[in-house]
Amino acid sequence: MEIQYRMETDVLVIGMGGAGVRAAIAAADGGARVLLAGKCAFGVSGATFYPGTPGWGMQAVIHEGDTEDYFLEEILDAGAGAADPELAKLLATRSTARFHELEDMGIRFERYEDGRYKGVIPCFGKRLRGSSTLGIAKIRRALWLQLMRRNVRILENTEFICLVKKDGAVVGAVGLDALDQPFYVRAKAVVLATGGGCGIYKYSLATPDETGDGYALALDAGAKLINMEFIQFIPGLTWPVKKLLFQEKNLVTCPKFTNGAGEDILAKYLPKGISEEACLTERAKHGPFTTADISFWLDLAMYEEAAAGRACESGGIHVAYDPKVLEDKSWVITSWLEWMNSRGVRPVEEGFDMIPHAQCFNGGVYIDKNASSGVPGLFAAGETAGGAHGADRLGGAAIAATQVFGALAGERAAEYCAGCSAADVSGAGIGDQLHARFGEARGTLADIPKTMEEIRDVMWRCGAIVRSAERCGEGLARLAELESAFSPALQYERGADVRRVGDLVSYLALSKLLLTVMDQRKESRGPHYRSDFPEPRPEFRGAITVKKEGGGLRTELVTFGKSESGAKA
Ligand SMILES: Cc1cc2nc3c(=O)[nH]c(=O)nc-3n(C[C@H](O)[C@H](O)[C@H](O)COP(=O)(O)OP(=O)(O)OC[C@H]3O[C@@H](n4cnc5c(N)ncnc54)[C@H](O)[C@@H]3O)c2cc1C
C-alpha cells in the first residue's frame, strides 16, 4: 500500500458520533487544530444517529430528590462489581453539566407544560433521572453548527485502518479517503471515538460502519480493553420492518409471544413459581437483557426458540397486544405508539416480530481519569471507551458517557499536544507498521462479504444470549479457519474490496477477543449468561481486562471492592 499524500493536525479524532463530535469541540476550545473523520457522511451513521430510534435518552441529575451520589450508587449497583468507581464517579458528577451544554447548543429535552423535565426511571436504575430529546435531525444540525463555528476540519467517508507509533507514542494514522486513496495524518494526539462493535452480530441495531475498529486499533497499539463480554442485547423488530428498536415499557400490558407455529413460548420456559405477568413486569423495567432478575426468561425463550429453528419466517418471535394498551395515555406509551405507527408498524392491529439484537457495548478501551488509553498520545471516548459502566449499564448513561468522556478526551488531548512537538515517520516506517498489522500477502483473495456474514452467524450462535465453554470453543475454531483464509495485505495489493478489508480485520480481532473473555468468565453476571455456569460466582466479582501479549491475548481479573447485585431466581 503506497501512501498517496500526507496531512497534518494537532488532534485527530477518529469517529464522528456523539463522542467524536464532543471531543472535537473540546479540543478546538483547548486551542488545538482538529481533524474529525468518520466512515460515512456526517450525522447519518453510528449509534448516535441510528435511524431506527426516536432520539436520545440521557442521564443527568435534574429531578427533585435526585443527587450525584444516588447516580453513582446506581451505576455501581448495575455494574455488579465490574465498573471502575473512579470513572463511574466522573460520569455521575459531570453528566449534568454536559446535559445543560447540549441544551445551550439548541438541543431540546422533553418537558411538561409546567417546565419540569419529562423523565423515566432508567433501565437498571432506581430513581427518575435524565430526559429524552426527540428528533435525530435536530441533534445533527445543532452539533454540526458547533463544529463549523470552531472551524473543525471534517473528513467524511474516510476510514482509518492503522495507528502509527514512534518511540512508544501514537503519532499519526493511516486512512483510506473517500476515493479509497491511502493517506497519512501526522497528529500529536489521536482520539478513538469509533463507537462499538455490534455489527459483528447477525441481529444488531447497528449501522454497517460499526465494526469494532477502535477496539482492534487500540489493541494493536498496546492498549488494554475492559468488560468486553458485557454487551447489551435489546429486542429489535424483524417484521414488518427490520432493525427498529422495541420499547419495553409497554410489556406491563402482557402481550403474547408466539413462535412460527403459533405456540405460546413464554409458558414453555418459565420455571415453576414465576408467572408471565411477573416476568413481563420485571422485563418492562429495562430494555436490555440481563441475568440479574426474572425477566431473563423472556429473552432466553425468544433466543432458544429461534436457535431451534422455531421462529417466524422473519427470524423473530411474534408479539400480539391486547387493545387495552391503547387506553394507556402515559407519554411513554403514546409516544411509542406514535413512533411505531410512523414507521408502518401497527402493534395492536397486526402485531410485529422481534428478537434480541446487539445494541451497545458496555466495555471498551480501558481509559484512565484523563481519558487516556495508557498508550501516550492515544485517547478514547464514548462506546469505544470502557470502565465507567460495569456488567449492566444505566439507560441513558451511554449518551452521557459520549459527552463526559468525549469532552474530557478532547480537553486532555489538546493539553497533551501543547506539551509535545509533531513526530516525523518516514514512508518506510509507516510501511513497516502497515506490514505488522496486515501481514504478508499470501494465498488467494477472500470473499469478504461472505466471510463477514459467516462471522455474524458464528457470533450469534456462540457469543450472544446463551454462552458456554463449548460454544466459545466452537466459535474460536471456526474463526481461526476463516482467519487463515484471509490475507489483508493481498486484498490491498490487488485492490480487491479494499473498503471492507479493515472491517474484516476488526471483525476477526473483536470476535476472537470476545469469545476469549466470554470463555474466561465462568459465571453469569449482567448480560453475560453462561448455560454451564448459570449463577454469579463471588470469585469473578470484578472486571476482566484483556491486552495483546506475545502474539496472543492476556486476560486479567481486576477487582474494585463493591458488593454485587442479586441473581435472577
Ligand atoms: C437503537 C439504539 C438506541 C440507543 N439509545 C440510547 C439512549 O437512548 N441512551 C443512551 O444513553 N444510549 C443509547 N444507545 C447507545 C448510544 O447511542 C451509543 O453508545 C452512543 O451513541 C455511541 O456514540 P459514539 O460516539 O461512541 O459512537 P457512534 O455514534 O457509534 O459513532 C461512531 C463513529 O465512528 C465512525 N467510525 C467507525 N470506525 C471508523 C474508522 N475506522 N475510521 C473512521 N471512522 C470510523 C463511524 O462512522 C461513526 O461516525 C442506543 C444505541 C442504539 C443502537
Rounded Cα–Cα distance for residues 380 and 370 (Å):
10
What percentage of the chain has pLDDT greater than the value 70?
98
The total number of structural domains in the chain stands at 2
Residue 503, domain CATH: 1.20.58.100
Last residue of a domain, one of 358, 393, 420: 358
Ligand 1 centre from 45 Cα, in Å?
8
Last residue of a domain, one of 299, 329, 358: 358
Residues 353, 469, single domain; the answer is no
pLDDT band at 567 (very low <50, low <70, confident <90, very high): very low
Rounded Cα–Cα distance for residues 234 and 249 (Å):
13
List pLDDT tens digits, range 520-543.
999 999 999 999 999 999 999 999
Atom of ligand 1 nearest to the CA of 158: 43
Atom of ligand 1 nearest to the CA of 40: 47
Last residue of a domain, one of 358, 384, 399: 358
CA distances, 509 to each of 167, 174, 175, 550 (Å): 25, 18, 19, 15
What mean pLDDT comes out for the span 126-132?
A: 94
Residues with CB under 6 A from ligand 1: 14-20, 37-40, 45-48, 50, 52-53, 56-57, 158-160, 193-195, 205, 209-210, 213, 245, 359-360, 382-384, 396-399, 402
pLDDT band at 322 (very low <50, low <70, confident <90, very high): confident
Partnered with residue 320 across adjacent β-strands are 256
Answer whether residue 307 is part of any domain.
yes
Ligand 1 centre from 20 Cα, in Å?
10
For ligand 1, atom 21: residue with the closest CA: 48
Work out the mean pLDDT of the chain and round it to a whole number. Answer: 94
Atom of ligand 1 nearest to the CA of 59: 11
Answer whether residue 407 is part of any domain.
no
What is the structure's pLDDT at 334? 85
What percentage of the chain has pLDDT greater than the value 90?
88
Higher pLDDT among residues 250 and 354, named by residue: 354
Residues 442, 548, single domain; the answer is yes
Atom of ligand 1 nearest to the CA of 406: 25
For ligand 1, atom 44: residue with the closest CA: 38
pLDDT band at 561 (very low <50, low <70, confident <90, very high): low
What is the structure's pLDDT at 339? 85
User: Strands 169-176 and 159-166, how do they pair?
Assistant: antiparallel
What is the structure's pLDDT at 250? 86
Rounded Cα–Cα distance for residues 3 and 5 (Å):
6
Rounded Cα–Cα distance for residues 425 and 239 (Å):
52
pLDDT band at 329 (very low <50, low <70, confident <90, very high): confident
Ligand 1 centre from 17 Cα, in Å?
6
Answer whether residue 55 is part of any domain.
no
List pLDDT tens digits, range 173-202.
999 999 999 999 999 999 999 999 999 999
Ligand 1 centre from 200 Cα, in Å?
14
Ligand 1 centre from 557 Cα, in Å?
27
Instruction: Give the residue numbers spanning the domain of 479.
Output: 437-558
pLDDT band at 331 (very low <50, low <70, confident <90, very high): confident
What is the structure's pLDDT at 67? 97
Answer whether residue 320 is part of any domain.
yes
Answer whether residue 208 is part of any domain.
no
Residue 288, domain CATH: 3.90.700.10
Atom of ligand 1 nearest to the CA of 236: 1
Q: Mutate which of 58, 194, 339, 408 to test ligand 1's pocket (most atoms within 8 Å of Cβ)?
A: 194
pLDDT tops 50 at residue 566: no
